[in-house]
Amino acid sequence: MDCPAACPCQPIRGGPAPTLSRVADLVHLTAESAARGVADLGIPARSRSGRAGYGVFCMPFLPSFTLTHGWAREVRRWHHGRLVAIDVHLPDDEPVTAGRRGGTPESLPLSVAVRRIEDLPDPRGWEVFVPRAIRPGEVRRVRPIPPSVGWRCPVAVRHRRPPGAQRPELTERELLAALAAGPGRDELISAVWALGGRP
């Protein structure tokens, strides 16, 4: 089927087809009050991450809404009031650092960092750090997030796994039994996530 005339891949009348640069989608969580003006001013580099200096903490967009916005409860420790998510576009080759909170982050291109986190059996506790401010033109939108989203306790304590640990090999019957036992919210999310990852 042919693309519609308004499709970006169609040439502009009277000129060549536009060059579409590849970008990666990230989300930055912050207080609603701090997000005012980001469309005009961008996101300032207020956070610090070791040798990387000052910049902005983000998380890639993952198939799971809960995992994408999992740092919300941690962010609420420093920000009072409602939280919002700021969606940003950055080039694939943007230099960033990525790693698990409390560990040693690795410097790598953004596209590599995103793929690495997407491929993790359990991405909870991981984060991407952009060592600079986010420019206004890189801000896509600001949107509210539910107040209940996020982990209930420090991820490094509750969800710590040894290096190389894989998803528990539970049968579907065992996972359904765990759900029927009336688990807490975190256990419910983990069980549903495990079921979703089964072939």
6 in a structural domain: no
b/e per residue, 82-102, with b = 16+ CB within 10 A? ebbbbbbebeeebebbbbbee
Q: Are residues 110 and 31 in the same domain?
A: yes
Of residues 32 and 167, which shows the higher confidence score? 32
Q: What is the CATH number of the domain that holds 94?
A: 3.20.170
pTM of this structure: 0.65
Using the structure block, give the residue that is written with the tokens 């990852």: 197
Model confidence at 75, in pLDDT bands (50, 70, 90)? confident
Model confidence at 177, in pLDDT bands (50, 70, 90)? low
Q: Are residues 140 and 172 in the same domain?
A: no
Q: Are residues 38 and 106 in the same domain?
A: yes
Q: What are phi and psi of 69, to 5 degrees?
A: -110, 25
Q: Are residues 97 and 187 in the same domain?
A: no
- pLDDT tens readout for residues 141-170: 999 988 877 755 444 444 444 343 344 455
- Write the CA distances from 9 to 12, 18, 81, 91, integer angstroms: 9, 7, 43, 19
**Half-sphere exposure (CA, 13 Å, Cβ side) for 151?**
18
- pLDDT tens readout for residues 108-128: 999 999 999 999 998 989 999
Residue range of the domain that includes 184: 167-196
The domain total for the chain is 2
Q: Are residues 174 and 110 in the same domain?
A: no
Side chain identity, residue 140: R
Q: Are residues 135 and 172 in the same domain?
A: no
92 in a structural domain: yes
Q: Are residues 34 and 76 in the same domain?
A: yes
What pLDDT does 2 receive? 42
- pLDDT tens readout for residues 81-106: 789 999 999 999 999 999 998 888 99
183 in a structural domain: yes
**Which token pair is 193?**
């996530």
1 in a structural domain: no
Q: Are residues 90 and 37 in the same domain?
A: yes
